[in-house]
């Protein structure tokens, strides 16, 4: 990944996290004076016209009104919620499947509160039966993940963007784990 493809946290005027963009987009916002730099990542962006310290966090110069973010239910998000762990046997893996606790053909819905991550063998063993019939109970009950900034952007903080912790509501010890 090149320096211009690095991640930059975009904050609203009131310092609430809005989204993540790349350095190239952040430099355009800075050049058009639509944003200001809050944190730098220590690298230098050079061009024919100017040299600019590479931003890590920027704040928009105006307020963006947007609806409250919602965590969409995708396979990736279910695996992240369940920490890449089979909810029946506890095995950690990256080739997990999605299992409906109450099977869809038995009236179960495809909603957060009815899906869990399961390894292939546990999913096959449970099959189209309920948890009572198969005697397989999830380790943790399925739930809808919160759409808080610490949940939405915590993966970036744990992945090396430590300077973002104070903006997304994660203190240093939580960011390290």
Using one digit for the tens of pLDDT, what is the confidence trace for 50-93?
Answer: 788 889 999 999 999 988 888 899 999 999 999 999 999 999 99
**Is 44 a residue whose pLDDT tops 80?**
yes
Query: In the chain, where are the structural domains located?
Result: 3-67+147-176, 75-134
65-68, Cβ contacts within 8 angstroms, sequence gap of 24 or more? 66/18, 68/147
Residue 59: Cβ within 10 Å count: 19
What is the pTM assigned to this prediction? 0.73
Got the DSSP string for 52-75?
A: EEEEEEEEESS----PPP-----H
Decide if pLDDT at 22 tops 50.
Answer: yes
The CATH fold of domain 75-134: DNA Binding (I), subunit A (1.10.30)
Percent of the residues in the chain that have a pLDDT greater than 70, as a whole number: 95
Q: Give the span between the Cα atoms of 17 and 60, in whole angstroms.
A: 10
């Amino acid at each position: 990944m090149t320096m211009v493809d690095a991640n930059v946290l975009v904050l609203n005027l009131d310092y609430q996290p809005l989204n993540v963009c790349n350095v190239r987009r952040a430099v355009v916002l800075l050049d058009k004076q639509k944003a200001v730099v809050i944190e730098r990542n220590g690298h230098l962006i050079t061009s024919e016209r100017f040299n600019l310290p590479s931003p890590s966090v920027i704040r928009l110069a105006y307020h963006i009104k947007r609806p409250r973010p919602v965590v969409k239910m995708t396979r990736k998000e279910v695996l992240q919620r369940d920490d890449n762990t089979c909810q029946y046997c506890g095995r950690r893996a990256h080739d997990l499947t999605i299992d409906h606790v109450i099977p869809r053909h038995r009236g179960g819905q495809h909603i957060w509160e009815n899906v869990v991550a399961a390894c292939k063998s546990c999913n096959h063993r449970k099959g189209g039966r309920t948890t009572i019939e198969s005697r397989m109970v999830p380790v943790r009950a399925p739930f809808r993940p919160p759409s808080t900034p610490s949940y939405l952007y915590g993966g970036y903080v744990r992945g090396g963007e430590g300077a973002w912790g104070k903006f997304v509501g994660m203190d240093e010890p939580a960011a390290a784990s």
